[in-house]
Structure 1
């Protein structure tokens, strides 16, 4: 009887299994497809100003949209994969590049040195790495490129015997703390302020104060979790990295060859950052650069040419699961675009704000942009859609345009940490092999804290009539 009872209990407990990331995204896609039969099609008129397409406020009109058929639902997945090919191959090439660098022993050697120096004071290592990634996010130097650096977080977390969630937190998570404030980000705040007619990077002091507060809380939250794992590995939500004799001893050599290799990688990545800012290089340039870095690193490491190829392909193969997640996430947007309902959603989000008090309107702008970010998770793309609507709306409801800009910025930045339609989030989780559901469970309390800070900041902005300075 006891055996039958045990089996019955096991079956009862096994009924609910957390859905795979692909299952979650498929359900989101299905919901979007159903929504296209409910939401009417519509569009705004647009104009091109200096080569940039902008929405013209007050021009929304209903249109005859495309009726999506049964096969269109599945075609959207293929289209999403094709349209996300640049990010998909970036992820695969990232895996190949870091596999070569990791096999060389160079990263392990330098990180082991950093761990030895901070032995007993691991907090400072986590705080320093987080601060660096937050700063580069705040100035717009690294956005999509943070995917490439997640592996650095993985190696640090492995060396400290932590888990992949910490790896994501100190790289991707910290980066988007800076991105969400963006006091010197030309691709988000810069574009939004230009559309709003504000001086470039005006209001930076207030944004820096918000940045410091959010970063401090993020580091404390991450450290609290890391410290719990150091004391009891069972506190990890996902399981700590397996023991690694080389990591455990922290005696991995750091040779001259390793220093040359890391110097080459650092200079190459630095030149890419320069190219992305000054030469307007794209994700495709980044992927090409990763191939170049892979070849150069393999040669400096003294690998045989066959070994370079095999190692690169092995690293790419490890990230296929996560790479295709990005395409499936994109398919949600494909469905909504083909049915021509995105502009209708934007219009519906903007209408209620006209009748609210200034403080509530600012919060409403933030919420609206957060919801919009589920559909348009490109910072610059969302600025082009939202700011032409928010700028005149801010004037009508008595909110300064600086507050409107920050409402957009918070809405665009913060939700990138939780929305599965964010390609950067899904790609970063793929690199570290963190299930989306586990990440959401860990980051959601922190997200709520950021949410409160953002709302308080916007309220203060309204009350002090935050202007250009």
Structure 2
């Protein structure tokens, strides 16, 4: 008898998915008419001037330009790519001291292995951090801690990434007291900073409860049956669970290493608020952190270099994906069709009834975020259209800001064009296909919450 092998569908690699999106973007430059808006500089950012769209000569992307856009995407994304590599190296140095593993084992021992409590606490901590707009791209640095905790709790890498990254995006999606993205959107809408916080706060707690429940139910499921896990540590090349004995007790030196790392992170957060530090400063802080941790941890100079390089090598995959994702935007911008897409989307909205128009704003931001994943970048492009549209349809400007925020935050947890998401998955060694399967139901739940919250805003005349 001959066995017939059934060909199973295999989810494409992240590189394949994003390259497919890149090809679609190239086709758009041939199909869509080219056009652009005039822009003005507001607080150092180029903001679109509503009503200034005009058609221009088409500039379709050539075969060579398609591939040079990848190189350009890598160049444009250089700050975040090198930041990711430096974070990988720095975290590798700190992990080499044994401080993270021993510290997590000590934490689990003191909490008497309260698995659900620890996972819920991690989700809440990172949600609160971005509730006030603190962590941002620095969230990449915390992924190894989530992975170590998940491994020590005998869970899987997806839980390690989820409790940190999804926790953060609960805060991002609502932006209750976020001075950066919410602040920019409200500035363009000429609203007082943080005004309307009460409805965003309600949305924050709803999303936090849903996300926490979703992750904890997944934890419960894999505890009952390991085959239900979407990704085991063996598949990522990591041991299932490290014993506390391997790393020894949580010593004074370990504590000093972690306190040193914490001091540098606190310095960066202080710099963000006081001196407007960004990606380059974060990379510099992590280089200094790794050197200080090596000195405190007793790592020799040559050993430090070897460990740092090895840590950086582990996330080269994710670093390159970031550049490929950026190439999609490069093609749309160079082909002059990005503004055409925005203009075409907002014109029909003006003909919709008030309730449907508000929901259409939310859905548009939800989908447009798959192209422009930067919150500030998206605000600079779409808010100048949403404000006059809201005024014309008698929708409050606060509702327009809420539609933008919920749309911007929701699809960031699944968008393959998000450089930060790809970096996070690279650090956690989680394939995008596995993450997509895990997070898709949650994206749908968040979307339903967004629709409901926007409906409430319209019905209550949200101010």
Question: Per the shorter chain, which TM-score range?
Answer: over 0.9
Alignment equivalent of 1:318, drawn from 299, 303, 314: 314
From the superposition, tell whether residues 249 and 256 of structure 1 become closer, same or farther in structure 2 (CA, over 3 Å): closer
The question of whether the paired residues in 1 share the 8 Å contact of 2:133 and 2:177 is answered with yes
User: Per-residue deviation at 1:137?
Assistant: 1.3
Residue matched to 1:377: 373
CA distance in 2, matches of 1:306, 1:169: 35
CA distance in 1, matches of 2:209, 2:296: 39
Q: Please list, as runs of the form range in 1=range in 2, the aligned pairs for 1:60-459 lying within 5 A after superposition.
A: 60-240=53-233, 243=239, 246-247=242-243, 252-459=248-455
TM-score (norm 1): 0.95
Matched, 1:29 2:22: yes
CA deviations over 1:241-278 (Å, ceiling 9, x no partner): 55467436587311111111111100100110111222
CA distance in 2, matches of 1:65, 1:224: 51
CA distance in 1, matches of 2:247, 2:22: 49
User: Per-residue deviation at 1:121?
Assistant: 2.4
4+ residue runs over 3 A deviation: 49-52, 240-246, 248-252
* Structure 2 unaligned residues grouped into runs of 5+: none
The question of whether the paired residues in 2 share the 8 Å contact of 1:276 and 1:282 is answered with yes
From the superposition, tell whether residues 245 and 423 of structure 1 become closer, same or farther in structure 2 (CA, over 3 Å): closer
CA distance in 2, matches of 1:79, 1:271: 32
User: Per-residue deviation at 1:206?
Assistant: 1.5
Range 262-271 or range 86-95, more displaced = 86-95
Local SS of the residue matching 1:13? coil
TM-score (norm 2): 0.96
Local SS of the residue matching 2:136? coil
User: Per-residue deviation at 1:67?
Assistant: 2.9
The question of whether the paired residues in 1 share the 8 Å contact of 2:151 and 2:241 is answered with no
Range 405-414 or range 17-26, more displaced = 17-26
User: Per-residue deviation at 1:282?
Assistant: 1.6
The question of whether the paired residues in 1 share the 8 Å contact of 2:29 and 2:59 is answered with no
The question of whether the paired residues in 1 share the 8 Å contact of 2:73 and 2:330 is answered with yes
CA distance in 1, matches of 2:210, 2:62: 48
Alignment equivalent of 2:11, drawn from 15, 18, 33: 18
The RMSD of aligned alpha carbons is 1.5
CA deviations over 1:155-190 (Å, ceiling 9, x no partner): 111111111111111111110111000011111111
CA distance in 2, matches of 1:23, 1:355: 38
CA deviations over 1:108-156 (Å, ceiling 9, x no partner): 1111122123335211101111111001112110111111111111111
CA distance in 1, matches of 2:169, 2:389: 27
From the superposition, tell whether residues 159 and 205 of structure 1 become closer, same or farther in structure 2 (CA, over 3 Å): same
The question of whether the paired residues in 1 share the 8 Å contact of 2:182 and 2:405 is answered with yes
CA distance in 1, matches of 2:293, 2:411: 36
* Structure 1 unaligned residues grouped into runs of 5+: none
